[in-house]
Amino acid sequence: MQSPEPPVKPRATHVCLSLVRLLLLSVVWLVLLIGVAWAFGALWFDFPVSALRRPLAAVFALCAIAAPAFVRPRWRAQLGIASAIALIAVWELTIRPSNTRDWQPEVAKRPTAKLMVTTS
């Protein structure tokens, strides 16, 4: 007995799988690109040694951009970039917040509020 539905052509299946794969790879690369941009900013603004902030951020960005071109297979490049982003995220989360900085005069004082009670 044959099924009433015509069989799916192998070429159509192959095209659909290729499109799904392309979509997933695009999402992975987009997430990695956003992560690289965030890590670049974290190094640029928060690295503790001010003389190394800009050079370290630039080296990180160049390595992250060059890795997919030189590392094969590409999943190893993706894994390396993701690992570097994760390390920078862990470092960034260990930074303690501080309020001991040189602030502009209009924002140097903490805001206060007074409770006004009126009786009628």
**pLDDT, average across residues 75-98:** 95
**pLDDT, average across residues 45-67:** 95
**Which pTM does this prediction carry?**
0.74
Of residues 79 and 11, more confidently modeled: 79
28 Cβ contact list (under 8 Å, min separation 6): 78
Q: How far apart are CA 32 and CA 82, in angstroms?
A: 7
DSSP codes joined into one string, 38-74: HHHHHHHHH-SSGGGHHHHHHHHHHHHHHHHHHSSSH
- Which amino acid is located at 101 in the chain? R
What percent of the chain shows pLDDT beyond 90?
65
SS3 state at 95: coil
Of residues 86 and 11, more confidently modeled: 86
